[in-house]
Chains A and B, each alone.
Chain A
Amino acid sequence: MALSKIDLDSAGVTGTLPTSNLDTVGVAQGGTGITSGTTDQFLKFTGTTTLASAADNAGNLVKLAQANSLVNTATVNIDSVFSSIYTGYRFLCTFKSVNSDVHCTFRWRDGGSDLTVSQYYGSARGGYVDGSGAGAQSFSDWGSSSAKVADSMNNNNYNGLHLDMLLYPYNNTGVANIGSIDNASNIIWQAQYWADPDRQEQVSGGNTYTQTTVPDGFGFDLSAGDFDGYNYALFGYKG
């Protein structure tokens, strides 16, 4: 009589089936229908009953750099981070200054050097509040060798500078060219900081560097003294 069913439990069968004896479980049976993938791949659906492994494309917003430190430093530079596959970048950071009454400046960089042609044009406008009331704040650059992004920061006994910045470095190749049709490198930012003398201040601003040098990075420094610490992350936008 042919066996129609084997009771493995009753027969006391134990052990491990060789991999070669195992079949791939199909998607319709709740399996993946695939037997292998490569590092960092995901599973993705390609139809109602099919699956496939797919490359991790990391999305359209990609973290490119992140760092933090509490060691005093005169400059914070991020070099060799731009690529023609990104249309723009977003930089989030907190900076603290050792000294009071100093402003924070931004510069584009290329090949490890600051780009300092006196062609930075920009302005920022916002407001402040202190013990005597609220008021307007504004500052600007006209043909400067850097872009001021925060004015009269206070020292490390106070809250630092919190910066949210969009960067469109000039690039004449790739998708990044979308942001460079005006032959310049541009930034747009919002900043919130505790200012000297003892007041909360916030500004939003923009700056254009009217040069067609293709930057590969950017950096920050203070008008005097060191940063007491920093914490930043840089993201690239694709598409």
Chain B
Amino acid sequence: MTNITINGVTREMNSTEQAEYDKKQTDWNSKSAERKLEKIRNLRLQKLQETDWMAMSDLTMSDAWKTKRQSWRDIPQNNSTEAEYDAILERDANGVLTNAIWSDA
């Protein structure tokens, strides 16, 4: 049984509360891939914003950077499984993203 706490007093959930709790866990777990894709989208947006200055009218963006930025935009259509999302989100012990897709051009 799962616990519930009210005013510092902890007790076990009743059957109704436990059923609601279990349903919430199931719903959350079923959306694991969606949440990972959302994280990837946020990282992608950040990377694109950090390099937007290269697209200013008085600059010429290199082909390498054009390709790199396009590869970020294409992540969702080129990756669709949770295992692929995990690979894209992989980090080293210092928290640094390790997938080559995030490296500079």
Q: Report which A residues bind B (CB closer than 8 A).
A: 65-69, 71-81, 101-102, 112, 130-132, 135-136, 152, 197-199, 223-226, 230
Chain B binding surface, main DSSP class: mixed
Identify which of residues 55-105 in chain B touch chain A, using a CB-to-CB cut-off of 8 Å: 89, 91-92, 94-97, 102
Rounded to whole angstroms, the CA-CA distance of A226 and B96 in the bound complex is: 28
Give residues in B with beta carbon < 8 Å to A. Answer: 2-8, 10, 13, 21, 24-25, 28-29, 35, 39, 46, 89, 91-92, 94-97, 102
Nearest chain B residue, comparing its CB with the CB of A137: B42
Closest chain A CB from B75 CB (angstroms):
16
Q: Which listed residue, A69, A74, A197, A226, touches B8 by the CB 8 Å rule? A: A69
Other-chain contact of A198, B4, B7, B8, B95 (Cβ < 8 Å): B95
Cross-chain contact A136 with B46 (CB below 8 angstroms): yes
CA distance A77 to B62 in the complex (A): 56
Complex contacts, A199 vs chain B, CB 8 Å: 95
| Chain B residues with CB below 8 A from A68, complex form | 8
Does B8 contact A131, Cβ atoms closer than 8 Å?
no
Which single member of B10, B24, B35, B97 contacts A73 (CB below 8 Å)? B10
